[in-house]
Amino acid sequence: MVRVAILGQGYVGTIFAWGLARLKKGLLEPWGVPLARVDFGVPVESLEIVASFDVDAAKVGRSLYEIARGYGLEPEPELKEVAVSPGLKLGSTPSFIKTAALDDGRPLEDALARFRELLDDARPDVLIDVTTTVRSRPLFTWEEAERRVAEGSLPHSQVYAYLALERSGVAYVNAQPAHVACSPAFVERAAEVGSLVLGDDGATGATPLTVDIAEHLAERNRRVLSVAQFNIGGNTDFLSLTEPERNLAKEETKSGFLEDVLGYEPPHFIRPTGYLEPLGDRKFVAMHIQWVSFGGFVDELVVNMRINDSPALAGYLVDLARLAYASLRAGVYGTVPEINLFYMKRPGPLGTRHKAKMLAYRDLLSFVERLRESRGLPAREAVTRARTSNP
């Protein structure tokens, strides 16, 4: 059994919990779980959600069952067994949330201590950070992290990662834009204490497709003249992005790939653009790319998407929790670029060059082969399976 804790019980975390319960009972096809058909020794059935943390007063104390219903989902009864514990709001929680956080009316030091106790109780193997987007800077030493946690100047994700890495043998999966797997302080610490950080910022929507389209163009030696990409949605994530600092954080993780993939950086405008409530979680994406073809002729490509934002990430989390656990068990500590490059927008460790997602996928399959070998499973099968087992 893999003990999983969710940080941030928003729509992503809830779809994850709801879908996982249904997957385990065979009520749901595992569409959207990239490695659903690849056996590396950690089946979906082994995942168990043991804790959940949030700062939203409307959620703290409620069960995942109640929260799932609040999102209009039909949850399995098992979700009644996990209640949301209060988390840490720090200075980085959006102002539109009414909080019931550990650090509401309690000194930071006490709040941290209280959170440590909750972790002691939950004993998670894997912590999944799906909290609100926050901007951050990389942290370079554990001492720096220590000092800044104490003084209360770090955003919530880096504080959670710090608290997780005080422990050993745990994995921290950071699916949002804060620098966790891109903080050398955390990667080095994890390597030292037999832990793991994966991240940063799940790559689920228009960005990974754009990466692959960029590679597609590069392979034909087409010269990209410009890229414009707009995203607008109506979920809480988009609402939080109306705060300029958060928007900037997102913009940074969304456009970093162009130079690495193309070999040059074309003029571009790639941003989460706005909040429009009736779009709900099904965001609208519009993208325009133009390039020079043979003979100097200019071609144009427009992409429009309606993407269910949260389910796409929730599907990834099913893999990430399993891969994190399998890696730990195989003695892989620190971070795993082969995982990050496929699943993340800004793959750790800091300074990792992007590559086409399709190429990252091949590397991921090779890494999974190594995991299989470490378990004594027959080699070369994972790749084959992944290509053939779509029913």
Q: Which of residues 219-238 bind a copy of itself (CB under 8 A)?
A: 219-223, 225-226, 228, 230, 232, 234
Size of the site for a copy of itself (CB under 8 A): 87
> CA–CA separation, 195 vs 332, rounded Å?
8
Decide: 382 and 34 in contact? Cβ < 8 Å: no
Closest CA to 336 of 358, 364, 369, 373: 364
Q: Which is nearest to 321 in space by CA: 163, 197, 173?
A: 173
Closest CB to a copy of itself among residues 188, 265: 265
Residue closer to a copy of itself by CB (options 57, 305) is 305
Interface pick for a copy of itself out of 76, 125, 215, 251 (rule CB under 8 A): 215
Binding to a copy of itself in span 273-312, by CB under 8 A: 273-279, 282, 284, 286, 288, 290-308, 311-312
Q: Is 212 in the site for a copy of itself (CB under 8 A)?
A: yes
Q: Beta-carbon neighbour count of residue 151 at 10 Å?
A: 9
Nearer to a copy of itself, 263 or 378 (CB): 263
List the x/- string, 246-265, binding to a copy of itself by CB under 8 A: ----------------xxx-
Token pair of 339, please?
Answer: 């995982």
Q: Read off φ and ψ for residue 196, nearest 5 degrees.
A: -150, 140
Give which of 237, 235, 250 is closest to 177, Cα–Cα.
250
DSSP H helix total and E strand total for the chain:
14, 10
Peptide bond before 121: cis, by omega within 30 degrees of 0? no
Instruction: Compute the least distance from the CB of residue 171 to a copy of itself, in Å.
Output: 21
Give Cβ neighbours of residue 391 (< 8 Å, ≥ 6 apart): none
Between 113 and 358, CB nearer to a copy of itself = 358
By CB under 8 A, tell whether 108 contacts a copy of itself.
no
Which residues, numbered 190-209, are part of the site for a copy of itself (CB under 8 A)?
208-209
**What residues from 311 to 330 belong to the interface with a copy of itself (CB under 8 A)?**
311-312, 314-315, 318
Of 83-91, 194-202, 214-222, 375-383, the window that binds a copy of itself (rule: CB under 8 A) is 214-222
Dihedral of the alpha carbons of 47, 53, 59, 61, in degrees to the nearest 10: 90
Segment near a copy of itself (CB under 8 A); pick from 44-52, 108-116, 127-135, 213-221: 213-221
Work out how close the CB of 292 gets to a copy of itself at its nearest, in angstroms, rounded to a whole number.
5
User: Contact between 1 and a copy of itself (CB under 8 A)?
Assistant: no
Candidates 211, 130, 142; CA nearest to 178 is 130
3-state SS class at 285: strand
Query: Should residue 96 be labelled a site residue for a copy of itself when binding is judged by CB under 8 A?
Result: no
Q: Residue 320 is inside which H or E element, if any? A: helix 309-329
- Tell me whether residue 107 or residue 267 sits nearer to a copy of itself (CB atom): 267
Determine the Cα–Cα distance for residues 45 and 20; give it in Å rounded to an integer.
Answer: 8
Task: Provide, rounded to whole angstroms, the least separation between the CB of residue 300 and a copy of itself.
Answer: 5
d(CA 174, CA 373): 27
Please tell me whether residue 7 adopts helix, strand or coil conformation. Answer: strand
Segment 160 to 189, residues that bind a copy of itself, using CB under 8 A? none
Please identify which residue in 1, 80, 267, 380 interacts with a copy of itself, judged by CB under 8 A.
267
Least distance from a copy of itself to the Cβ atom of residue 63, Å: 19
Binding to a copy of itself (CB under 8 A) within 356-375 occurs at 356-359, 361-362
Which residues, 36 to 75, sit near a copy of itself by CB under 8 A?
36-37
Rounded-to-integer distance, Cα 339 and Cα 335, Å: 9
